[in-house]
């Protein structure tokens, strides 16, 4: 993977597979502590302690098409390469939180990349799931909540092409505004 | 700046079309989006299909993601399923190839043979 937004897409797809109804994605960047933290939370089926203990091992997977599950181990490797770490908390029947911490200015830290593409894809392919995306940079933040969007849309489906395109542009502008405001300080 | 007011305009424009979308009857394009697909570049491929289909107003065509198709070294993999036709599997896809598949296969019905799995089997 070449950007964090691709890892986020992949990890959030685990939540989709776990039959989550709500998925929260938070990117928080803190320049003072020089950390970038990504947290992906779901209310899906969860994992038990025994499974969790070895879930970042690439040979742990419940998929049947092949014997290696790589998503979590790749995400962990990307975080550790910067001097950060990955942790997972999960409870069967309650849900899962995956937290990856990156050293923000490490030269090995992948760029955040196209979060607009990731959110448009996640929301457009899972109209029944509620997503919250939040990107925090010090005291600034951008937030997208599909419940608010659905309220405005009424009967119109959130996966209509026009709506998905609006979501893509909304997130792209929101994210761009954040990084701009950071540069002018 | 994109605004929620703009979203209301989109709602008003789409209101009359509610219920018109029929799934299952038209052509389905599915892009493999498991870890291997994403790492190989499947996201921009899916975006390209969505944009191309939207631009041409192909209301009978749906673009979706699917899990692992099970042939990692051929990713990004795209399957095209049209009613009454055999499934076509395209491999090593790119956004540029996606545009060509929409123009030639989806619109004109000519499979782009050189991108299919059959033309790309590794020995
Ligand atoms: N959010 C989640 N909720 C429940 N189970 C999960 C979640 N994330 C991962 N898992 C479990 O961990 C396994 C390994 O995940 P991952 O490393 O992404 O590989 P893969 O998705 O290819 O199997 C999955 O097959 C699944 O059983
Ligand atoms: Mg996975």
What ipTM was estimated for this complex? Answer: 0.87
- Domain A4-179 adopts which CATH fold? Heat Shock Protein 90 (3.30.565)
- State the distance from the centre of ligand 1 to the C-alpha of A95, rounded, in angstroms: 12
Q: Domain coordinates of chain B in residue numbers? A: 22-120
- With a threshold of 0.90, does the pTM exceed it? yes
Nearest CA to ligand 1 atom 1: A15
- State the distance from the centre of ligand 1 to the C-alpha of A61, rounded, in angstroms: 6
The radius of gyration of chain B from alpha carbons, rounded to an integer in Å, stands at 16
Encoded tokens for B49: 């299909």
Residue with tokens 């849900």: A95
Residue A140: phi, psi to the nearest 5?
-105, 155
Identify the H or E element spanning B89: strand B88-90
> Exposed, middle or buried by CB within 10 Å (0-12, 13-18, 19+), for A22?
middle
User: Which residues on chain B are in Cβ contact (under 8 Å) with A173?
Assistant: 1-2
pLDDT per residue as tens digits for the range A18-77: 999 999 999 999 999 999 999 999 999 999 999 898 888 776 666 655 555 589 999 999
Pocket of ligand 1 (CB under 6 A): A 14-15, 18, 42, 44-47, 55, 60-63, 69-73, 96; B 35
Whether residue B39 and residue A163 make contact (CB cut-off 8 A), yes or no, is no
Distance CA A82, CA B18 (A): 48
The one-character DSSP state at A33 is T
Nearest chain B Cα to A10, which residue? B35
Whether residue B7 and residue A163 make contact (CB cut-off 8 A), yes or no, is yes
Contact predicate A20/A42, CB 8 Å: yes
Q: Mutate which of A161, A169, A181 to test chain B, going by most B C-beta atoms within 10 A? A: A161
pLDDT per residue as tens digits for the range A75-88: 999 999 999 999 99
Q: Domain coordinates of chain A in residue numbers? A: 4-179
- In CATH, the architecture of B22-120 is 3-Layer(aba) Sandwich (3.40)
């Amino acid at each position: 993977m070449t950007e964090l937004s691709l890892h986020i897409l992949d990890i959030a797809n685990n939540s989709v597979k776990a039959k989550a109804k709500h998925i929260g994605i938070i990117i928080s960047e803190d320049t003072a502590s020089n950390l970038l933290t990504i947290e992906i939370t779901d209310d899906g089926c969860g994992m038990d302690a025994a499974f969790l203990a070895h879930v970042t091992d690439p040979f742990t997977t419940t998929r049947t098409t092949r014997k290696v599950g790589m998503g979590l181990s790749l995400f962990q490797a990307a975080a550790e390469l910067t001097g950060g770490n990955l942790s997972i908390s999960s409870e069967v029947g309650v849900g899962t939180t995956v937290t990856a911490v990156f050293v923000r200015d490490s030269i090995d830290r992948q760029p955040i990349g196209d979060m607009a593409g990731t959110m448009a894809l996640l929301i457009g392919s899972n109209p029944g799931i509620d997503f919250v995306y939040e990107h925090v940079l010090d005291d600034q933040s951008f937030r997208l909540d599909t419940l608010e969007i659905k309220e405005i849309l009424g009967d119109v489906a959130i996966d209509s092409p026009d709506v998905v395109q609006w979501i893509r542009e909304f997130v792209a502008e929101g994210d761009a505004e954040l990084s701009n405001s950071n540069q002018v300080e | 700046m994109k605004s929620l007011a703009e979203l209301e305009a989109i709602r008003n424009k789409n209101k009359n079309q509610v219920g018109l979308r029929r799934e299952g009857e038209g052509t389905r394009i599915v892009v493999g989006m498991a870890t291997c697909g994403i790492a190989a570049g499947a996201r921009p491929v899916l975006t390209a299909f969505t944009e191309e289909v939207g631009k041409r107003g192909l209301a009978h065509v749906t673009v979706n993601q699917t899990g692992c198709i099970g042939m990692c070294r051929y990713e990004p993999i795209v399957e095209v399923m049209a009613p009454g036709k055999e499934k076509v599997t395209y491999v090593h896809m790119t956004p540029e190839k996606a545009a060509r598949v929409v123009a030639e296969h989806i619109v004109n019905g000519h499979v782009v043979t050189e991108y299919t799995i059959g033309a790309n089997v590794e020995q």
